[in-house]
């Protein structure tokens, strides 16, 4: 996706890594929520950034 294809390996440039982290984390949460709703599943997602910050998502019943 995007303007060019990227290899799946650690992004070395820290500013790029930070931007990608933010974008993909948002995308992942969205997909996780969609799976939960579409398929009536219970889900939990936990992400710790490399700087130690926590992000999480779960559906509640």
Partner DNA sequence: ACGGCTATGTATAAAAG
Partner DNA sequence: TCTTTTATACATAGCCG
The residues that touch a copy of itself, with contacts defined as CB under 8 A, are 6, 8-11, 17, 20-21, 24-25, 27-28, 31-32, 34-35, 37-50
CA atoms 25, 28, 32, 34: torsion sign: positive
Question: If contact means CB under 5 to 8 A according to the sort of partner, which of a copy of itself, DNA, none does residue 1 touch?
Answer: DNA
**Cα 12 to Cα 8, 44, 48, distances in angstroms:** 12, 29, 18
- 27 interacts with DNA by CB under 7 A: yes
- 52 interacts with DNA by CB under 7 A: no
């Amino acid at each position: 996706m995007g303007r060019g294809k990227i290899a799946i390996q650690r992004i070395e440039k820290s500013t790029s890594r930070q931007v990608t982290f933010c974008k993909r984390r948002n995308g992942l949460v969205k997909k996780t929520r969609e799976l939960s709703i579409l398929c009536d599943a219970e889900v939990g997602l936990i992400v710790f950034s490399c700087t130690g910050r926590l992000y999480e998502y779960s559906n509640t019943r």
